[in-house]
Amino acid sequence: MTVSTHSETLQLKPRAHQAVSCMIIRGGTSKGLYFHKDDLPGDKTTRDELLIRIMGSPDPKQIDGLGGATPVTSKIAIVSRSQRVGVDIDYEFAQVLVGRPEIDFPTCGNILSGVGIFALETGLIKPSAPETILTIYDVNIGAHVKQTIQTPEHKLSWHGSKEISGVPGTAAPIVMELSNIVGGKTGKMHPSGNKIDVIDGVRMSLIDVAMPCMYVLASDVGLSGTESKHDLDANKPLLEKLLSLRIKAGERMGIINVAKKVYPKIALVSEEITAAGMIRSRYFTPYVCHDAYAASGAFSLAAACIDTGTIPSEIFTQATDNPFKVTIAHPSGTMPVELSIKDNDITKLSVKVVRTARPLMLGAAYLP
């Protein structure tokens, strides 16, 4: 096969078929394909059609592609060396929809956690010791990211003692600090102009921090917020109601063609409090409940918790002051997020989170 490769790491013998080099990396509680931007077609339409087919969509099983037939395993990172001043790497995220011939471009904090590993493994950056600090620009929402990766003796190490809920075992910690994450898709933290909206009789807070989200009190749709993913996914009337609300919420946020996008995401918040500084939530991707919690969604929820007047802030009790520590209880465990505010202005916020990532494969994807 003929291999399009930006990296000299991958050496494959030429054959009759075309392929493109990539890595499969588990980033946080997601798994995705990581590509060099230069290895993909320059024309966006051609590129997007190719990525959909490589993943195996629109087949719901993705049997003829590399996707895992779930939203958290149908993700793509497009990575390149940045030309921006003070930035090492540009990162563009793509979500290939399962069962649909569609692709969308929100952001993903979990896949982001694997970008540094990809950059190191493919020679886009050189490791330092005992850790490597790189700056990443999130193309999708204009965010700036500082990522710290463990590289003892100038060698990448993904072995360590850090455990994150939703992933078996332990790995080396990857620390991410994100700024400029407010209004990345709509231009405003509160795109509707309100901290609480009412749509079809349901109260909700519409927030755009890292990921546009709609927050609904679980009890307002007849739930406790402690339900399992299985029970929520099996509740078809609930899903139909939430998805209908999502379309109207997205339109109120000024999002165009909401039905073709995976955002705004849906998040139910529970009044059942476990401890100060903690909030229980169920996050939808948007068509099914997340097994754990999206990192970008966690940033959004953390911001909503300390944004007085929103629905999450009504049930959240602060345990710390600036920087604020918010722990999200989700179906697989918990996810802590640290949030800092500058000049006492909620829109001038930054977040810090610790994730893990592990490279699973370096190879080439055959082109359909």
Q: State residue 5's pLDDT score.
A: 54
Q: Which of 214, 219, 169 is nearest to 194 (CA)?
A: 214
SS3 assignment, position 174: strand
Pairing of strands 30-36, 211-217: unpaired
- For the entire predicted model, the pTM comes to 0.93
Give pairs for 283-286: CB < 8 Å, separation 24+.
283/330, 284/232, 284/242, 285/71, 285/72, 286/242, 286/243, 286/246, 286/262
46-81 pLDDT, tens digit each: 999 999 999 999 999 999 999 999 999 999 999 999
221-239 pLDDT, tens digit each: 999 999 999 999 999 999 9
Q: State residue 274's pLDDT score.
A: 74
68-120 pLDDT, tens digit each: 999 999 999 999 999 999 999 999 999 999 999 999 999 999 999 999 999 99
| Domains of the chain, earliest start first | 2-181+356-366 (3.10.310.10), 197-350 (3.10.310.10)
CB 2 within 8 A of CB 15: yes
Instruction: Using pLDDT thresholds of 50, 70 and 90, give the confidence band for residue 321.
Output: confident
Alpha-carbon span 55 to 60, nearest angstrom: 11
- pLDDT above 90 covers a percentage of the chain that reads 92
End-to-end CA distance of the chain: 13
Q: Which of 353, 347, 235, 232 is nearest to 294 (CA)?
A: 353
Pairing of strands 75-81, 30-36: parallel
Mean pLDDT of the chain: 95
